[in-house]
């Protein structure tokens, strides 16, 4: 009979919880939102997105001309009552994300720990509608996250995404010369 005590113990997989938030973004197209992700560029522009909570933004690894995958940004923001924190987020190919998606457009990322290990994941799924975009934001976070932190993130995300219709269509038209809201659907 084999000695089972000599088998190496496997490190248990971390347990996660999904926070899912649905948005209806009127007058904003998926193309605009995907463009925005690679064109935040500076702290002033980052604060447009959430003037109360967003503090600073910089690219650690800027997006390439061929796409966002592998780009890393460092954002300082305040979520809820917690003091401001810096979050490093790497853009990833949605096919490599553990979050399963169903909408036709997806922006995916992971928050990074000090050794570049993923600590949490996010996916923003985008579905074009005649009136704009239906968005589903999913955050996969450690299961031991306090409920207060989950609710603070929910409120932050609702406010953040809710601001997009207030500035993004005009900014997109101004910078790209395009009005993707007039494309045939």
| Vertex 36 angle, CA 53 and 92, to 5° | 90
pLDDT exceeds cutoff 90 at 168: yes
Residue 155 within a domain? yes
What three-state secondary structure class fits 139? Answer: strand
Burial-class residue 92 by CB neighbours within 10 Å (0-12, 13-18, 19+): buried
Which strand (E) or helix (H) includes residue 19? strand 16-26
Task: Specify if 2 maps to a domain.
Answer: no
What is d(CA 36, CA 151) in angstroms, rounded to the nearest whole number? 25
How confident is the model at residue 133, as a pLDDT?
A: 98
Which structural domain range is residue 99 located in? Answer: 16-176
Please indicate, yes or no, if residue 9 is contained in any of the structural domains: no
For residue 3, being part of any structural domain is answered with no
In a domain, 5, yes or no: no
Report whether 140 contacts 99 (CB < 8 A): yes
Q: What is the CATH number of the domain that holds 139?
A: 3.30.530.20
Is residue 4 situated within a structural domain?
no
Provide the number of structural domains found in the chain: 1
Stretch 61-70: mean pLDDT, rounded? 83
Q: Which of 59-68, 149-158, 175-184 has the lowest mean pLDDT?
A: 175-184
- The CA distance from 125 to 21, in Å, is 10
Arithmetic mean of pLDDT, 116-137: 96
């Amino acid at each position: 009979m084999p000695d089972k005590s000599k088998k190496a113990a496997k490190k248990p997989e971390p347990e996660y919880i999904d926070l899912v938030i649905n948005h209806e973004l009127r007058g904003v197209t998926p193309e605009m939102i995907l463009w925005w992700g690679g064109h935040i560029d500076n702290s002033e522009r980052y604060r447009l997105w959430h003037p109360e909570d967003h503090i600073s933004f910089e690219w650690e690894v800027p997006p390439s001309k061929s796409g966002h995958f592998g780009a890393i940004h460092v954002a300082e923001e305040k979520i809820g009552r917690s003091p401001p924190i810096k979050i490093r987020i790497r853009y990833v190919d949605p096919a490599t994300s553990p979050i399963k998606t169903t909408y036709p457009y997806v922006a995916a990322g992971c928050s990074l720990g000090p050794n570049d290990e993923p600590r949490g994941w996010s996916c923003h799924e985008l579905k074009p509608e005649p009136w704009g975009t239906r968005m589903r934001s999913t955050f996969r976070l450690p299961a031991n996250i306090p409920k207060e932190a989950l609710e603070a993130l929910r409120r932050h995300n609702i406010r953040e995404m809710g601001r997009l219709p207030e500035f993004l269509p005009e900014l997109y038209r101004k910078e790209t010369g395009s009005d993707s809201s007039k494309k045939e659907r």
